[in-house]
Structure 1
């Protein structure tokens, strides 16, 4: 029986996290097929280890998880090299990037299959079919290219009961890489673990890469099972903090409060992602319980203070600019830090309107800071995702914007920046507009350095703040070189790119 090599390409420098997505795939075949994991974040040159496995001739299947950005670059380089050296290897990609850009991936000539969404059933079913030389066109959640060049997308699988899935094989992962290596020092704690407690999201935001894959579907593990997993890692390897990397951890108030009740005696600190319009409906008692259980900071996609843009983005039809400000103020009494992300540079009929929208968002962000200075602000420049049918995406395509057609184009320097939502390459944004967004971000981060940068001491914070405050008050954002210099010298951390 052929073996499986699972690869987690490097996603960020010096950032070690439990590779949950690829570990889920490992769990789906554990006990039936032999498998190994190579984590690009833990290897100086992952190709050396990959080569050592493939050269044995025992491994026929090579599974990748691929996100846009830095991970894509290493994934493409590895896939090309492997297909050249080991042409009989079956290359299987999963993750947001291949699911949203299947043509570029499959026409590359070195990727054979895409798992389109969860692979808990699709991946083992595909391996079974290939091992037995049986048809695979009826396997759900699969994208592949026929011999005549046609791209086939099979039907979507219903989301599975997450409590019914096999436990993640942490102990076997520990034989490849010590689990303690993945428990890094962050703002949250000395040994912070990454964890996924749910998949998907029940909303259809028109700028979100999750939407085409999950189509407003969401399934979560029970609070009891989440607690059980977390406690296992705490007791066995000493984890003291948790980053929940769910797309939306706080969909259910009941589940969130139950988890808070369970985790409170463990004295752990934690973080998760939420929607403002969902969580603003939580009772005060629920918010208090969540904070008392160790939740210090929550990430919210605020996106815009402009109600018209929020409607374009399809934020569920219930989020408003006033609500964003009111909720930031409300969280003060619970001592929960709101981490708000904003997306600037959305399309408009004229450049004057685009500029006006940017100016509005800058003023709005300052209003948020005025009511709750502890609010963390993450600024992205709008980068289109293929949410076909949405009004926002129609505007994007009407403007002349096009995605790259080949994988090689996707890893050009300009498109790498696009994936990080820093340089969007959109025709309605001028270089001057992009500069204004970036310069405002620099000044804002000078006045309010992120609390998540644990290396920036109080003296450095005060020095940057002193330099930046005058610019902030006078709305002078041009050429903030003095702030950039201090941030570069002191290696200021940007959480939107580097995490905590």
Structure 2
């Protein structure tokens, strides 16, 4: 059997996290195919490391996990170089980017297959088919190109997450010390990254998860999650958890069961949720979550405008009034709500676009008024190819197009687009983008994120003093003095750099 090289491209400048996605693939072939992991977050020269493995002649398969944004910066040039130097290798990409942009990836000529969603079955089945020279056309969750055409196989039902093999943490430690992945954050000194579920049961038209999982969700049991976390805590000293699920809190029972199990371990933790889902949680449930160590929860507020929420296909029962009410409710439980807002959705006229932006700015200030501890994260709307949604149809009518050549995705402008910081959309004029960014600067001046552990109390007081008058008088233009302090003190924005 030929060996497999699994590559996790760099996604962070520091504080690497356990590469859970690529570890799931390693688990799926463990014991059947020999594999190695190259983590771009832990290598000074990932390309040289990969080449050193391939030069042995023992590796025929390369699996890349590729998220939009920074990971493309390494994934694209390395994949191209590998195909040039080792043309007989088989290149397999998985992750949100290739699943949502399969044509531009396969048209590049150096990616052979895409795993469209979970690869727990698809990846090993594809290797088996290639090794045995058997057909792969009926393997589920696969995208490939043949005779100039791109083919997508049918989606596989989501698997029982408890039945999947455990992640091979000890074997990962043969390549990189596990302690290196347990970084110091707002949550703790040794923070573990963990995935407890896949997918999301909603169909928001701006979300990259929707085209892949199609409103499906599967989670591990509370006991299974606890067993994994307890193992890493006891073996490597983890004291905090970041749940990187798209939606950790789908089930109130599962969340509360986990809270009860983890409480004696004295670990802090964070996860992502929907406001309208958690607003249905009982007060006793929210209290148990906090008592168990849940300090902060990320919520996609998206907009305080009910018509914009409808335009986004937000689904559920979320409203602007509920967003404010829930922020106020969480305050009494001492759980910090981390609200993200998406500004700059399409509208028929520039005046309407600007009016929506002004509305959201005023709405964010109302949220801060009822709960000043609310963390606010601001994105500009970046289209996602959710075919069939009215929002995406509006995007296409406006003349917006994605890059048609894979290498164009690693330009600085498109990388910022993937981070939802540079929209590149026809309906957003430069002055609109400036207003969004300037308001964000003033907001982050008066309310610096609690998750930036490098910003001490003196610095916080200084920057709040500078920003207070601007915020109170809605004077957002040219906040150069705040930008200077952010630059000098290397202010950390969690939506870009994590905790």
SS at match of 1:410: helix
Question: Which residue of structure 2 aligns with residue 150 of structure 1?
Answer: 149
CA contact (8 A) 1:270 1:294 kept: yes
**Cα offset for 1:391?**
1.1
1:80-159 matches, within 5 Å, as: 80-146=80-146, 148-159=147-158
Q: TM-score, normalised by structure 2?
A: 1.00
Q: Does 1:407 align with 2:402?
A: no
How many corresponding residue pairs? 499
Which whole-Å CA distance do the structure 2 matches of 1:244 and 1:317 have between them?
22
Secondary structure, in 3 states, of the residue corresponding to 2:441? Answer: helix
- Return the alpha-carbon distance in structure 1 between the equivalents of residues 358 and 101 of structure 2: 33
The DSSP-based 3-state class of the residue aligned with 1:243 is strand
2:249 corresponds to: 250
Per-residue deviation, 1:131: 0.5
In the alignment, which residue of structure 2 is the partner of 1:46?
A: 46
Cα deviation for residue 317 of structure 1 reads 3.9
Cα distance in structure 2, aligned partners of 1:321 and 1:413: 34
Distance apart, 1:380 and its partner CA: 0.2
In structure 1, distance between residues paired with 2:284 and 2:309: 29
Q: Does the 8 Å CA contact 1:311/1:317 hold for their aligned counterparts? A: no
CA distance in 2, matches of 1:490, 1:414: 25
Confirm or deny: 8 A CA contact 1:354 1:428 kept in the other structure.
yes
Q: Report the equivalent of 1:381.
A: 380
Instruction: Give the Cα–Cα distance (whole angstroms) in 2 for the partners of residues 232 and 315 of structure 1.
Output: 37
Structure 1's consecutive aligned runs of 4 or more residues displaced over 2 angstroms after TM superposition are none
- Aligned with 1:7: secondary structure? strand
Distance in 2 between the 1:317 and 1:277 partners? 7
State the match for 2:181 in structure 1: 182
Q: Secondary structure at the match of 1:334?
A: coil
Q: What's 2:14 paired with?
A: 14
Work out whether residues 276 and 316 of structure 2, in 8 Å CA contact, stay in contact via their aligned partners in 1. no
Q: Could you say which residue in structure 1 is the equivalent of 2:62? A: 62
- Is the 1:99–1:116 contact (alpha carbons within 8 Å) kept by the matching residues of 2? yes
CA contact (8 A) 1:227 1:259 kept: yes
Q: Which residue of 2 aligns with 1:441?
A: 440
C-alpha distance in 1 between matches for 2:35 and 2:76: 21
SS in 2 for 1:13: coil
Is the Cα–Cα contact under 8 Å of residues 275 and 301 in structure 2 kept in the other structure?
A: yes
Q: Distance in 1 between matches of 2:302 and 2:12?
A: 24
d(CA) in 1 for partners of 2:259, 2:8? 31
User: Does the 8 Å CA contact 2:268/2:295 hold for their aligned counterparts?
Assistant: yes
Describe the SS at the equivalent of 1:433.
Answer: helix
Moved more, 368-377 or 41-50: 41-50
Tell me the secondary structure at the aligned position of residue 83 of structure 1.
Answer: helix
- Secondary structure of the structure 1 residue equivalent to 2:138: coil
CA contact (8 A) 1:191 1:241 kept: yes
Q: State how far apart, in whole Å, the 1-side matches of 2:442 and 2:32 are.
A: 55
Deviations, residues 432-479 of structure 1 (Å, cap 9, x unaligned): 000000000000000000000000000000000000000000000000
- 1:383 partner SS: coil
